[in-house]
């Protein structure tokens, strides 16, 4: 039995109830992840006023966060593959929760940089753990839907953050908000360890030959580079909006604090809808016999075309219209992202999913680091959001072109024929 098959078999031993309980816990971990990283974005006006931050300071904090996450991803993927999802999930959530709480003790820019570096490095465990967990507990025919649901529910973190964080800050202060958010992650860690203490979740690797997963470095696979380049381009837009969208709405329309919550929540409601629609659509189309290549690239193409409207945000007549445009863009992003995540499990053996996911996410965070840093520079120079949104609007079509270059035809592992064995004469 191959390593990938062994892991899949371990997941098949789960009862349906346990399978979905783990799935629910996994989605809540994603919510906590987004809330922890969004606190500083939502409370930026208040924190900047108290601490004297400039736009360049804020951009630097974002860049340090992205850089630390990018570097952390190079280690997170191999670690997830090595220790398995039973331990990788609680390790990630617990450590990033401690890093989130540390923000409440910081006072100076260097101290906040250390906190953002710690948060970014530990949150690097989130994506490879999630992808590998889904690949372990869900069968291939429903993984697209699973990724869609996870992305949609995770968007609740982004939706609830602009609503709940200002309320929490009003009652506890911004320092108390970081502490409470971190404590929620500690509670999650305890719950996961209790639920999985006797669960057949991971299986040890076997040394058997793997005709469907040749033992070679992931960087020699064309699919790895297809995924990495697409993540670099598409994630840059996601990180730009995640980090700078509250500031964009404040600059363009003068909304901030509690008043900002409804507009940003509308935008992330679009992200949730895009995740659900794209995930279920992909599953439905493939269940009708459409090839994976056509389904994945077709949904990505449609998503890329929708994102082209992003620069129109700057000429929207009011804040609600701008939030509606952002909702459409984030829906399209999640449509693209959901199918890109599923593509990883389509073409990657299960025992390599953590590493391929991490490398792709590393490249995505390098793209995010670059654009978040560039945004601070561009805004400081007085050029506004125009150049940033024009690039972001075209990034998804560029990403699809990159995928087509490296993977002219997507062939899932299950459809590949093993190479004939030459026994000689």
Chain segment 81-137, per-residue pLDDT in tens:
888 889 999 999 999 999 999 999 988 888 999 999 999 999 989 889 998 898 888
Chain segment 401-422, per-residue pLDDT in tens:
999 999 999 988 766 554 443 4
Given a contact cutoff of 8 angstroms between Cβ atoms, the answer to whether 11 and 136 are in contact is yes
pLDDT at 392: 94
Chain segment 10-55, per-residue pLDDT in tens:
555 678 888 889 999 998 898 888 888 888 888 888 888 888 888 7
| pLDDT, averaged across the chain | 85
- DSSP string covering 60-122: HHHHHHHHHHHHHHHHHHHHHHHH-HHHHHHHHHHHHHHHHHHHTT--SHHHHHHHHHHHHHH
C-alpha–C-alpha distance, residues 177 and 171, integer Å: 9
Percentage of residues in the chain with pLDDT exceeding 90?
Answer: 39
Chain segment 364-376, per-residue pLDDT in tens:
878 887 888 888 8
* DSSP 3-state of 168: helix
């Amino acid at each position: 039995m191959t390593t990938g098959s062994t892991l899949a078999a371990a997941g098949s031993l789960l009862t349906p109830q346990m399978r979905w309980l783990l799935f629910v816990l996994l989605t809540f971990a994603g919510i906590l992840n987004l809330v922890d990283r969004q606190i500083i974005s939502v409370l930026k006006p208040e924190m900047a006023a108290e601490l004297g931050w400039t736009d360049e300071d804020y951009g630097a904090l974002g860049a340090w966060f992205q850089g630390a996450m990018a570097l952390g991803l190079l280690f997170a993927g191999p670690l997830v593959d090595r220790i398995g999802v039973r331990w990788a999930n609680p390790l990630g959530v617990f450590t990033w929760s401690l890093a989130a709480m540390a923000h409440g003790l910081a006072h100076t820019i260097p101290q906040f940089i250390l906190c953002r570096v710690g948060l970014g490095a530990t949150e690097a465990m989130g994506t490879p753990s999630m992808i590998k967990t889904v690949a372990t507990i869900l069968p291939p025919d429903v993984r697209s839907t699973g990724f869609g649901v996870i992305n949609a529910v995770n968007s609740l973190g982004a939706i609830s953050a602009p609503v709940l964080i200002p309320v929490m800050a009003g009652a506890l202060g911004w320092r108390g908000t970081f502490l409470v958010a971190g404590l929620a992650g500690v509670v999650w860690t305890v719950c996961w360890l209790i639920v999985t203490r006797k669960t057949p979740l991971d299986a040890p690797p076997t040394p058997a030959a793997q005709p469907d997963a040749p033992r070679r470095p992931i960087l020699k696979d064309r699919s790895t580079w297809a995924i990495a380049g697409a993540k670099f381009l598409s994630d840059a837009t996601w990180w730009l909006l995640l980090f700078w969208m509250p500031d964009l709405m404040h600059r363009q329309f003068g909304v901030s604090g509690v008043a900002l919550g409804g507009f940003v929540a509308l935008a992330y409601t679009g992200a949730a809808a895009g995740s659900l629609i794209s995930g279920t659509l992909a599953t439905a189309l493939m269940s009708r016999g459409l090839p994976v290549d056509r389904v994945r690239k077709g949904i990505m193409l449609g998503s890329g075309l929708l994102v082209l409207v992003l620069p129109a945000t700057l000429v929207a007549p009011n804040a609600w219209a701008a939030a509606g445009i952002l909702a459409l863009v984030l829906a399209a992003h999640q449509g693209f992202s959901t199918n890109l995540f599923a593509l990883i499990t389509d073409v990657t053996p299960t025992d390599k999913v953590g590493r391929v996911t991490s490398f792709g996410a590393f490249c995505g965070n390098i793209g995010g680091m670059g654009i978040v840093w560039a945004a601070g520079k561009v805004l400081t120079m007085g050029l506004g959001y125009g150049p940033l949104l024009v690039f972001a609007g075209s990034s998804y079509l560029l990403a699809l072109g990159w995928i087509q270059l490296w993977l002219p035809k997507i062939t899932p592992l299950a459809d590949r024929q093993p190479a004939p064995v030459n026994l000689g004469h």
